A and B are shown apart, each in its own frame.
Chain A
Amino acid sequence: MKGIHKNKLGAVLEMKGRALFSKNFIIMPLFSIGITLLLKFLYQSMGGNGSEALSNTLLATALGMGAVMNITMTGILCTGMALAEEKEKHTLRALMTSSVNGLEFFLGSILPVVAMMLAVNAMIMVVAGVSLSLTGWALWLGMSLLCATVSGVLGMILGICAKDQVTASTVSTVPMLILVLVPSFRGLNATLNRIGGLLFTGVLQNMIQDLVEGKASVDVAGLGVILGEIVLAVGVFLYVYRKNGYDAG
C-alpha cells in the first residue's frame, strides 16, 4: 500500500458512497433506526397509558439495540458484502488494474460506511428522545466512531476471505450474532456480562446505559478494549491483505 491520489480516492469514495444508498444497503441503517423507534413505542405502550416516560433501562435497551445493530450490520455487511460483490462480478480486478491502489480502495470502501454509521447513531439518539450534553454528544460520537472503525475493518476482513456474496453473508452471520446478542443478553448471567464487556458492542451498550442515566464519563477499561480491538482488526486485515491482496477467497 502506497500513497493516495486524490482523484482516485475521490472516485472510489463517490462510487461507494452512492452505492450505500442503493436498496441493498440502505436497508440496514433504516432498519437500525426503525428498531429503536419500534422498541421505544412498544415499551411505552407496555408501560401503561403510553405517554409515561420510559424507565432508563428500557430506553437504553431500545437505543442499544438500534445502535449495536447499526454498528455491526451496517459496518460488516456494507463493507464485506460490497467487497465480495466486487469479486463475484469481477469489478475488483478491473479496479485494481486501473491504477487504484490497495490503500485507496480500502479507504474508499470504509470511510462512507463509517460516516453512515456515525450519522445513524446520531439519529438514533435523536429519535429515542435522549437529550445529551455537549460532552455526552462528544463521547457518543467518539465512541461510535471507534466502534464503527472496528466493525468496518472486520467487514473488510470477512470480505477478503469470502469469494462471493453468498459466502460473505454466511461467514458474517456468526460474528454478527455474537456482536449483537451477547451485549443484549449480558444481564442474564455473569459470563455473558464478562464476554460482553470484552466486545466493542458491549462497551457501546454500557456507554448508552450511562448516557441515558445522565452520566457522561469515559470508561477507561472499555476504551482500552476498543482500542485493542482496532489494533487487532487492522493487524489481521494487513495480514490477510498481504497474503493475497483482496483476493484470498
Chain B
Amino acid sequence: MINEYIRLEHISKSFGETEVLKDLNASLHKGEILGFLGPSGAGKTTTIRILTGQLKATQGDAYVLDTHVKNIDESIYEQIGIVTDQSGVYERLSVYDNLRYFARIHGVELKHVEELLTRVGLLEHKKKPAGKLSKGQAQRLVLARAVLHKPKVLFLDEPTSGLDPSTAQDIHELLLELKEEGMAVFLTTHNMEEATKLCDHVALLNKGEIVEYGSPEELCLRYNRDKQYRVLLTDGSRLVLRQSPEDVEQLSRLLQEDRVNSLHSCEPTLESVFLTVTGRTLQ
C-alpha cells in the first residue's frame, strides 16, 4: 500500500519453548506514530529488534519500507533511525564529534549537525564529552543521531523512560514536529499518557499478544461502559453523576438553575482500558 512504511503480518517469536510474541498484526504509515503499549516483558523490545533486522521472527512476515525483514541488510539503516537503551554514545568524544562521525557515515552535510544540535537544545554543550552529559541530554543526543539522516521511519524504545517531565516534554514536541515532517514513528512505552498524547494508533501488548488496537480515543470510548460526569457546583460542592434517568434529570435541573461551575465527562484512560482488558496494570 502506498505510504505504508511498516507492516506486521502474523509475527510470532519464540525463544526456545517460550513464545514471547504471538501473531502480531499492525501497520504504520508515513507521518504516523504507532505506539506499542505494554508492561515490562510484554515483548516491545523484541518487536523492535525483529523489525530492525536484529532478530529473526519465528513465524510470520514483516515489511519495513517494502523490504521483508528477512532480507534486511545494512542499507536499510540509511532509511531508518533507532533509539533503544542499547544506543550508546562515544563517551570520550564531544557531543559535536559524536554527530559528526555519524554524519560522515551517512554522507550528511556537516551544517545539519549544528542545526540539529540547536533543535535538541544541545548547542551550548557541543564541546562537552558525551560521557559528561546528563541522562536527559544524552538521550537527546541519541535521538539527534537517530534522525540525523532524516530517516523515513524512526524506532523508539521507551524514549522517555527515566527522564524528568520537562525533558520528556521536549522530546514529545520534537517527535510531533518530526511526524509533521512526514516521519513515521514506531514507539514503545509503558507510559499511557505518552501514548495518548503522541500516538495515532496504539497496540496494547500483553504477554506477547496484541489485545487491543486502535486510536487512543477509540479505545477509551470503546471501554467507556460506565459513563460518569464530574460536576462542580457554584456553592463549591462536588457531585459524580451517572448515565441514569434520575442523574440526567438532576444534571439538567442543575444546568437550568445555572448552579454548575464545571462539568467533566470521565472517559477511561488507556491505563484503565489496559486494566479492563488484561486485569493487569501497565507499570
Q: List A residues at the B interface (Cβ < 8 Å).
A: 2, 7-8, 10-12, 14-15, 19, 22, 89-91, 93-101
Contact = CB atoms under 8 A, between A and B. Distances in A.
If over half of A's interface residues share one DSSP class (helix, strand or loop), that class is named, otherwise mixed; here it is: helix
B88 A93 contact: yes
24 contacts: A7-B104, A7-B105, A10-B104, A11-B101, A11-B104, A19-B92, A22-B92, A89-B88, A89-B89, A89-B90, A90-B86, A91-B88, A91-B89, A93-B88, A94-B88, A97-B54, A97-B82, A98-B105, A98-B145, A99-B75, A99-B105, A99-B106, A100-B74, A101-B74
Contacts of B88: 89-91, 93-94
Contacts of A22: 92
B87 A94 contact: yes
Interface in B56-106: 73-78, 82, 86-92, 101-102, 104-106
B105 A8 contact: yes
A36 B82 CA distance: 48
A10 B87 CA distance: 22
B88 to A, nearest CB: 3
A98 B149 CA distance: 10
Contacts, number: 57
Nearest to A92: B88
Contact of A98 (B54, B90, B102): B102
Given A15-B101, A94-B86, A98-B145, 10 more contacts: A8-B105, A11-B101, A90-B88, A93-B86, A95-B105, A97-B77, A97-B82, A99-B76, A100-B74, A100-B105
A101 B105 CA distance: 11
B128 to A, nearest CB: 17
Contacts of B92: 19, 22
A97 B92 CA distance: 21
Contacts of B77: 97-99
A132 B105 CA distance: 42
B127 to A, nearest CB: 16
A22 B92 CA distance: 9
B162 interface: no
A77 B86 CA distance: 24
Contacts of B75: 99
Contact of B107 (A7, A12, A95, A97): A7
B206 interface: no
Contacts of B86: 90, 93-94
Q: Chain A CB within 10 Å — which of B74, B75, B77, B107 has the most?
A: B74
B52 interface: yes
Contacts of B52: 97
